[in-house]
Every structure is written in structure tokens, then in C-alpha cells.
Amino acid sequence: MRFVFRIAVRYIFSKKSTNAINIISAITMLGITIGTAALIIILSAFNGFGNLVIGLYGSFYPDITVEPASGKVFQADEVLIGNLQQLEEIEFIAASLEENAMLAYNDQEHVATIKGVDTVFYKVTAVDDSVFAGNYMLEYNEGGIHVDCAVLGSGLAASLGVALGFDYPAVQVFMPRRTSSGGLSPRNAFVRQTVQPIGAFRIQADFDSRYLFTSINFVRSLLDYSENEVSALEIGLKESTKAEKVAAELTEMLGPDYTVKTRNQQNDFLYKVMRNERWVVFLILTFILIIATFNMIGSISMLVIDKRKDTGTLRAMGANESTIRNIFFIQGIFQTLISITTGFAVATTLCLIQIQFGLITIPGSGSFVITAYPIVLQLSDYFYVGITIFLIGGIASWIPAHLASREIGMFREVE
């Protein structure tokens, strides 16, 4: 085999009698190199955007939520909370209650989702860290004065034209009554209360344009719910804890009356779309790479023709069909490996430059959370891309090598 390897390596770098063979071989290796680098770069960009989206949604959603399997609310009494706290992996449990409501501010009106949360909520999400104007405050209690406060999404605040602070008007909240009273008068069909806008957060456009956070007691008074009624329990886990494992334990503990979801399951459609887009791009680029790689069939076939005199000499020295086939096959494998390695090096260098300096910016990114394309390198991408291209290159190398060995066999039969 050492003899076969030496001849195969020599055929890669040696000058051929026909210069076109060198050119075609170089173009083939360059195509594989560019295709390899493109796959790594694009997958790394997908990783960057994926981590960005996960980070944005992770600021809003907790590690795990517990919701009723049917209906809007359930009783989160001390017994239920105590059972959940028995799991060592759980660090914080927050209660929340959300419902759609009509908001009015001066002459502006907007339908929004009002979400009442308790004092633990900021520990299971990062909504408080996303406040860019004003403060994260749900209630004000001082000197016997109680004021219900609110933190609005930036888009919602802009739609209503809200001014933040105690010196400005309050937002009026209209909620349909759970029970009819006061006859048929439209005025009595809604509960109307006010909440003082204190802060504005910015996470993601979908959240920013429709959510208002306030205290859970305020929402309970609007909906006329009891003290323990909640729409969800939002759970924060300790670091290095697998959410899927804890979710499975909670599902078994709570039974069929509750639905337990991890952060990924809370955004199942989004994550599926991201995964599907990633695989579609991978398959499209792989298909393009297949076309480039199969130029190797032509280059090795031309090399077989160019080296007929050499193969005749090797045959006279005792080389059999398998030896001749292995020479050209290994030569194609070496070309593929050199191209893959070079492509990896080029892609890694370009990605590291982008990570460090952010040279390539996103068009129209003035209102976006980042200005440059995010890049995240993952070892698994190198593995899958390397294996895929190696298999394609192996197949492309085997075909002309097999034909070359058959040709040698036919010559022997003639002899």
C-alpha cells in the first residue's frame, strides 16, 4: 500500500503531458474548496442567527411552563407549588395570568395582551434586562399610596403614544366582564381600570407590539379571579440542567390535567422552521457541490488516459487491476481531502475575521438588534460537511478508477 500511496501522491503534484489535465484538476479542487468553505460559512451564519433568535425569545420565555390542559386558568395552591419545589433542578417558580384587553391612551386605542406577573417573574425571564426606557416596576407602594404600574413593549408604547412616568396620564384598560350586570348598557359590559406606564422594553417585534406587563393582582382584579388562579406557572431551572429531563419528570408528576413545555416547545413552529431552513440550504449547497465534485470524474479519466504508458509499465512490473484502481482512487481521495482541509481553513479564517471585526453588515440594520452578520462556529458542522464531501469525492473518484482497472483487465484478456 505504501507503493500505491506514493504513486497516487506523485500523480497529484506531477506535471502531466497535457496541460489541460492540470487546469481541470486545479479547477476541480478549487470548486470543492470553495463549496466546502461556503457550506461552513453559511451554516455558521445560520448558527449565529439561530442563537440570536433563541436569545431574544429566551429573554421572554422561561425554561419551562406549566399550563392547564383545558381551559384558561388553574388553581396554583400551596400544595401544587410545594410538589414542584421538591425537584432539586427547579430554582424559581413564577405565576402569571394573561388575557387580551383594550388599551386607551388619550385618543389612541390598541388591542394588546396584558400579562400579570408576580415578583419572581424577573428571575425566570430577562424582561427586566430588556427595559430600555423608564424602569421595570409593576407596583408602587409608598406612604400609603398604591399605584398599579406597567411596562409596555416598545411597539405598543409607540402605537399608543405613551409618555412614561408618574407625571403623565395613565393607560386605561378595558376588559369584558366575566358575568353580565347592569342590563344591556355597553358601558357596563366592560371593567375599566387604569395602570401607570413606567417602562418600555424591547425584545422582539412580535412581543414589543402586543405585550403589557403589570402585577398579577391587577389582572386578577380585572378578571375577577381568585387569589390562586393563574394561567401559567413559569419555571426557572438551575444552571447546567436539562430542561427536557425536568419537563418529563413534571409531566409524570402532574398528570394529564397539565401541559408542560420547554422553551423550545413553547416556540415549536419557530424552531422547526429554523431547522428546516438550515437543512434545505445544506441540501441545496450539497447539490451544487456534487456538480463541482463530479468534475473529478473527468479529470481522473483524463489522467488515466495520460498515464497509460505508466500503467503499462506498472502492469509489466506485476501490478494487478486492484493496484491500478487503488492508485487512481486514492489520488482522487487525496485531492478531496486537500480541498476539504483548505476549505475548512479558508472558512474558519473568514468566520473568525467576521466575529472579531464584523466587516460584513446587514443591509438596513439600523433598527435591528445587531448590525453585522452573526457567526457561530460549531464542530458538528465541520464533521457533517467533511463526511458529506468526502463521500461525494470518494464516489467521484471510484468511478474512473474502476473504469481504469477494467481497461487494464481487458488489455490482459487481449494479450
* Residue 265 is assigned to a structural domain of this protein: no
pLDDT (average), residues 175-179: 79
The pLDDT of residue 29 is above 90: no
Residues 128 and 183 in one domain: yes
In a domain, 266, yes or no: no
The domain boundary residue, chosen from 258, 285, 307:
258
Give the total number of structural domains in the chain: 2
Residues 128 and 211 in one domain: yes
Domain co-membership, 317 together with 172: no
Q: Quick check: is 105 in a domain? A: yes
Pairwise pLDDT comparison (182 vs 228), residue with the higher score = 228
The whole domain housing 285 covers: 2-58+271-414
| Burial (CB count <10 Å: 0-12, 13-18, 19+), residue 211 | buried
Residues 249 and 341 in one domain: no
Query: In the structure, what pLDDT confidence band is assigned to residue 346 with cuts at 50, 70 and 90?
Result: very high
197 in Cβ contact with 184 (< 8 Å): no
Which residues on neighbouring strands pair with residue 307, listed in sequence order?
none
With 0-12 / 13-18 / 19 or more C-beta atoms within 10 angstroms meaning exposed / middle / buried, residue 255 is exposed
Helix axes 295-306, 268-293, angle to 10 degrees: 20
- Asked whether residue 126 is assigned to any structural domain, the reply reads yes
Report which of residues 18 and 332 the model is more confident about. Answer: 332
| pLDDT band, residue 247 (cuts 50/70/90) | very high
Instruction: Verify that 229 and 89 share a domain, yes or no.
Output: yes
Judge if 210 and 338 occupy the same domain.
no
CB-based contacts of 173-180 (< 8 A; 24+ apart in sequence)? 173/101, 173/102, 173/103, 173/114, 173/222, 174/101, 174/102, 174/103, 174/104, 175/99, 175/101, 175/102, 175/114, 175/222, 175/223, 177/224, 178/223, 178/224, 179/224
The CA distance from 256 to 352, in Å, is: 48
Residue 55 is predicted with a pLDDT of 78
Give me the torsion for CA of 158, 49, 286, 273, rounded to 10°: -60
Query: Domain end: 233, 258, 283, which one?
Result: 258
Whether 75 and 205 map to the same domain: the answer is: yes
In a domain, 263, yes or no: no
Q: Is 90 a domain residue?
A: yes
Cα–Cα distance measured from residue 292 to residue 183, given in angstroms and rounded to the nearest whole number:
77
Tell me, yes or no, whether 318 and 298 share the same domain.
yes
Mean pLDDT of the chain: 85
Q: Could you tell me which of 63, 71, 103 has the C-alpha nearest to residue 231?
A: 71
Q: For residue 254, tell me if it sits in a domain.
A: yes
More confident site: 286 or 364: 286
Q: What is the pLDDT of residues 350-392, one digit of tens each?
A: 999 999 998 888 776 555 567 888 999 999 999 999 999 999 8
Mean pLDDT calculated for residue range 302-309: 68
Under 8 Å CB-to-CB from 59, ≥6 apart: which residues? Answer: 125, 126, 127, 129, 130, 203
Residue 230 near residue 95 (C-beta atoms within 8 A): yes
401 touches 332 (CB < 8 A) = yes
- Domain end point (choices 258, 284, 300): 258
Region of 134 (left: φ > 0; alpha: ψ -120 to 50; beta: rest) is: left
Q: How confident is the model at residue 413 (pLDDT cuts 50, 70, 90)?
A: very low
Cβ pair 69, 258 in contact under 8 A:
yes
- Any domain includes 19: yes
Residue that wins the pLDDT comparison between 56 and 336: 336
Q: Does residue 204 share a domain with residue 94?
A: yes
* 47 and 67 housed in the same domain: no
Residue partners of 158: CB distance under 8 A and separation at least 6: none
pLDDT top residue among 238 and 405: 238
Share of the chain above pLDDT 70, in %: 84
Confidence label for 295 from pLDDT (cuts 50, 70 and 90): confident
Question: Which three three-digit cell numbers place residue 158?
Answer: 409607540
> Is the pLDDT score of 124 beyond 70?
yes
Do 181 and 282 reside in the same domain of the chain? Answer: no
Query: The pTM is what?
Result: 0.75
Identify whether residues 177 and 286 lie together within a single domain.
no
